[in-house]
């Protein structure tokens, strides 16, 4: 047996979390509302967003030529496929919402909580949608002919973020419908732009009055490379911006719990999304180069698409209608990004890594992750409000840099899992050279900002790498936070952190990271005496426990409501018959059954295996507190009389494996009892753990049947010589019965008043 404390068992918090459960598909409380079309739109609308309408001008300005710019777009597509292959294998192997958080914590389980903490900090601090909101605002102002000053841009950007948050937080299905419509409009818009440029080339018409480009598709090979800047530092920052334009291929990985046929949908929708994006990006870049002279492209900044429309269709249509359409496209991007990141934030809260986790993880009151949306909304608005010029470019670089560390860890982890866990089902296997290519690129992009340029001054170099320093600072902040709450504080407070599950009112299963003062358990060989045939010699007052014959009408114990409606009254009468008590108040029950019985309506958090830890359910202080907690209006009067807490323990099937052992109360002195605090959201509880002592006398009933009930005295206010006041108990391992069926039992705890 093991000497340690069990928990104060009035809430279903002691279902220990296993990361191995990540291989099991999980359906969200919201249901599976996303079919193939919606999944595809979540991907393509995230990928084809503000990037293609805002980034090409800054890219050409940085690298200096059409040829190098197009080359980098192709390289970006290839590298994006490298990254997609990694997330596809992970997503099909671990088909649950949460994306890289799930993948990293499954792969890197030590140090404990480190991977989850780093992802959580990065998601909260850098998981914003500011850049797309800014592009939306700039294009709206351009369309109405108003100067895009900082104040108006920020007001419009914050307004968009607010509207999107309200729609997704209060009108779930309406939000999905709107983002689907905007996604298809966006694809149609890009195709329309490509066709328009081709018409200009074929017809050789240009009635807008603007000059035609000096560099077109008919230019010489040397001409399109003229002015190229072959500097790896510049190329690396340019690749960050291109990656951002391809970012979103893994968007569905964040919402897998809501996707119908998640594995097959992920594989086909993500691959189709990459092919679509690659074709559209390459063609629309060529369209820009056909219509707009190179010099004007370099000066256009984020408004290159608006310039394209103006020079293709004239000032009236180009400056009003089509830029407005681009702003709508950017709004669609904001919608799908917000939709996915809200689910990631909800998953982070659900796993206990955010304050007020139960509140933020809930899908109430509108059946949508409103808490996750608020976590996304706050940093997005904060970043939009930063008073800085060229904020769009800086945001792209800051968002992209820390992601390379996570991409590197995931890629290495995928290779490690191939070797360490060949047993895992892999419906999709990434091409290994692609994985190694992703590793090489991540390393290069992490290092490149710090490579000095010829003749560059120290201050200029520092400004250039500021985005990398901000990204590294976020990771270091995550490390510091992890070390503080998982190492230093537990060491100073002499407690351990434990993950346990709970179920919210809306059905959401969440994880709480609780403080427990339990010490590591250690097995101890003891003699446990079988009392079969001598049960009448052991009573609640003489030894602290009693075996009583009573056949229950309930046999299966699979319906929680039926247990409360029928078994509770039965148990109340049983206790009155045995003890002569005048009043019984049952405050909880626990089913000891491995969570594999699909008949059971009991939440998974309520189904627990046997506890192999010597304990008493409540300490003396906690026992008195039970009366005040459960019966506050009557507590003062009830506490004047004798009362007990009795655990009514019944086998569901005849028990051979992991039987219940109970100590003779008089063989366990007070000095062997150690209080163990339990921290709950709204109160504190306490149990007794028990020090090991070979003088303890242990008993059990061999092959105990469902009609043989064990009454366990947890507490008695009557403190007199010869009267057992409390009794330790625990499951124990009988080596001769280890091959038998797992134990199934139910225990009901009650306040017994005289």
| C-alpha closest to that of 575 among 472, 652, 647, 519 | 647
Distance of CA 3 to the CA centre of its chain: 34
Q: Could you state, in order of their start, the residue ranges of all structural domains in the chain? A: 18-485, 528-753
Pairwise CA distance, residues 453 & 445, whole Å: 16
Mean pLDDT of 681-700: 83
Residue 12 has pLDDT above 70, yes or no: no
CA distances in angstroms from 468 to 61, 229, 471, 748, listed in the order given: 21, 21, 5, 58
DSSP string, 517-528: -PPPP-B----E
Q: What pLDDT does residue 553 have?
A: 93
Fold entry, domain 18-485: Amino acid/polyamine transporter I (1.20.1740)
pLDDT tens for 462-493 read 777 888 888 899 899 989 989 998 889 888 87
β-pair type (729-731, 660-663): antiparallel
**Residue 531 scores a pLDDT above 80:** yes
What's the confidence (pLDDT) of residue 599? 44
Q: CB neighbours of 712 closer than 8 A, spacing ≥ 6?
A: 544, 545, 646, 647, 648, 649, 662, 727, 729
CA distance 232 to 210: 35
SS3 letters across 721-743: CCCCCCCCEEECCCHHHCCCCCC
Question: Does pTM surpass 0.95?
Answer: no
What percentage of the chain has pLDDT greater than the value 90?
A: 26
Residue 505 has pLDDT above 80, yes or no: no
Arithmetic mean of pLDDT, 124-148: 79
Q: Evaluate whether the domain defined by 528-753 bears CATH number 3.40.50.
A: no
Q: What is the 3-state secondary structure (H, E, C) of 213-257?
A: CCCCCCCCHHHHHCCCCCCHHHHHHHHHHHHHHHCCCCHHHHHHH
- pLDDT tens sequence across 50-99: 667 667 777 887 887 888 888 888 888 888 888 899 999 998 988 887 77
Alpha-carbon 227 to chain mean position: 47
The answer to whether 133 and 334 are in contact (CB under 8 A) is: yes
Q: pLDDT at position 712, please?
A: 97
User: What is residue 370's predicted lDDT score, i.e. its pLDDT?
Assistant: 83
Contact 317, 309 (CB under 8 A): yes
Cβ proximity of 497 and 136 under 8 Å = no
Asked whether the beta carbons of 316 and 143 are under 8 A apart, the reply is: no
- Residue 110's pLDDT is 84
pLDDT exceeds 60 at position 42: yes
Does the pLDDT of residue 215 top 60, yes or no? no
Provide φ and ψ at 331, rounded to 5°.
-65, -40
Give pLDDT, residue 730: 93
- Count of residues for the chain? 754
pLDDT of residue 739: 84
The 3 state secondary structure assigned to 537-595 is HCCCCCCCEEEEECCCCCCCCCCHHHHHHHHHHHHHHHHHHHHCCCEEEEEEEEEECCC
pLDDT tens digits, one per residue of 364-418: 777 778 888 888 888 888 878 876 555 555 666 676 788 889 889 999 999 999 9
pLDDT band, residue 598 (cuts 50/70/90): very low
Task: Taking residues 179-190, report their average pLDDT.
Answer: 84
Spatial CA neighbour of 226 closest among 62, 71, 70, 65: 65
- Percent of the chain, pLDDT > 70? 82
316 vs 744, residue with greater confidence? 744
Between CA 400 and CA 126 the distance in angstroms is 9
The reported pLDDT for the residue numbered 601 is 45
Residues facing residue 495 across a β-bridge: none
Q: Does 241 have pLDDT greater than 80? A: no
pLDDT tier at 207 (50, 70, 90 boundaries)? low
Report how far residue 561's alpha carbon sits from residue 178's, in angstroms, rounded to the nearest whole number: 40
């Amino acid at each position: 047996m093991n000497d340690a404390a069990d928990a104060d068992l009035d809430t279903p918090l002691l279902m220990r979390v296993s990361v191995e459960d990540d291989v099991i598909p999980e359906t969200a409380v919201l249901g599976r509302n996303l079919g193939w079309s919606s999944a595809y739109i979540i991907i393509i609308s995230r990928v084809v967003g503000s990037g293609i309408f805002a980034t090409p001008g800054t890219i050409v300005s940085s690298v200096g030529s059409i040829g190098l710019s197009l080359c980098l777009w192709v390289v970006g597509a290839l590298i994006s496929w490298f990254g997609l292959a990694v997330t596809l294998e992970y997503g099909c192997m671990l088909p649950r919402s949460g994306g890289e958080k799930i993948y990293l914590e499954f792969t890197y389980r030590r140090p404990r909580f480190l991977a989850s903490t780093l992802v959580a900090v990065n998601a909260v601090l850098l998981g914003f949608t500011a850049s797309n909101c800014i592009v939306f605002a700039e294009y709206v102002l351009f369309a109405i002919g108003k100067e895009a000053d900082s104040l108006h841009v920020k007001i419009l950007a914050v307004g968009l973020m607010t509207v999107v948050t309200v729609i997704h937080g209060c009108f779930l299905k309406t939000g999905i419908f709107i983002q689907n419509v905007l996604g298809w409009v966006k694809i149609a818009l890009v195709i329309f732009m490509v066709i328009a440029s081709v018409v200009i080339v074929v017809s050789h018409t240009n009635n807008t009055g603007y000059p035609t480009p000096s560099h077109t598709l008919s230019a010489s090979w040397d001409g399109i490379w003229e002015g190229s800047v072959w500097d790896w530092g510049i190329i690396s920052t340019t690749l960050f911006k291109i990656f951002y334009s391809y970012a979103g291929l893994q968007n569905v990985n964040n919402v897998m719990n809501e996707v119908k046929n998640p594995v097959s949908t992920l594989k086909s929708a993500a691959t189709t999304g990459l092919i679509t994006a690659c074709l559209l990006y390459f063609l629309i870049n060529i369209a820009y180069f056909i219509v707009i002279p190179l010099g004007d492209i370099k000066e256009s900044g984020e408004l290159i698409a608006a310039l394209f429309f103006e020079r293709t269709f004239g000032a009236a249509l180009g400056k009003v209608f089509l830029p407005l359409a681009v702003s709508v496209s950017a709004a669609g991007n904001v919608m799908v990004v917000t939709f996915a990141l809200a689910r990631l934030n909800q998953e982070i809260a659900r796993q206990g890594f955010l304050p007020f986790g139960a509140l933020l993880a809930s899908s109430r009151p509108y059946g949508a992750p409103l808490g996750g949306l608020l976590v996304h909304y706050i940093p997005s608005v904060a970043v939009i409000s930063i008073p800085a010029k060229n904020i769009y470019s800086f945001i792209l670089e800051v968002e992209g840099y820390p992601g390379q560390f996570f991409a590197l860890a995931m890629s290495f982890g995928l290779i490690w899992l191939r070797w360490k866990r060949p047993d895992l089902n892999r419906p999709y296997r990434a091409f290994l050279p692609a994985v190694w290519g992703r590793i090489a690129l991540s390393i290069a992009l992490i290092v490149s900002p710090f490579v000095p340029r010829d003749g560059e001054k120290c201050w200029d170099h520092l400004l250039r790498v500021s985005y990398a320093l901000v990204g590294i600072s976020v990771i270091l902040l995550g490390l510091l936070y992890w070390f503080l709450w998982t190492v230093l504080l537990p060491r100073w407070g002499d407690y351990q952190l434990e993950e346990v599950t709970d179920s919210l009112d809306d059905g959401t299963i969440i994880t709480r990271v609780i403080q427990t003062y339990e010490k590591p358990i250690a097995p101890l060989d003891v003699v446990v005496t079988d009392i079969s045939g001598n049960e009448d010699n052991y009573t609640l007052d003489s030894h602290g426990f009693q075996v009583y014959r009573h056949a229950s009408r309930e046999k299966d114990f699979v319906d929680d409501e039926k247990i409360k409606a029928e078994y509770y009254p039965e148990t109340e009468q049983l206790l009155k018959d045995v003890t002569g008590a005048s009043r019984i108040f049952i405050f909880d029950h626990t089913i000891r059954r491995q969570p594999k019985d699909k008949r059971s309506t009991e939440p998974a958090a309520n189904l627990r295996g046997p506890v192999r830890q010597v304990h008493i359910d409540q300490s003396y202080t906690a026992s008195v507190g039970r009366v005040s907690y459960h019966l506050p209006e009557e507590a003062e009067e009830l506490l004047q009389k004798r009362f007990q807490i009795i655990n009514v323990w019944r086998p569901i099937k005849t028990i051979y494996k992991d039987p219940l052992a109970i100590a003779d109360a008089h063989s366990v002195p007070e000095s062997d009892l150690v209080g163990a605090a339990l921290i709950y959201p709204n109160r504190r509880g306490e149990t007794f753990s028990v020090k090991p002592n070979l003088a303890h006398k242990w008993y059990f009933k061999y092959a105990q049947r469902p009609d043989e009930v064990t009454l366990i005295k947890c507490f008695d206010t009557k403190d007199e010589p010869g009267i057992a006041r409390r009794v330790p108990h625990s499951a124990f391992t009988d080596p001769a019965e280890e091959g038998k069926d797992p134990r199934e039992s139910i225990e009901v705890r009650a306040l017994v008043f005289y």
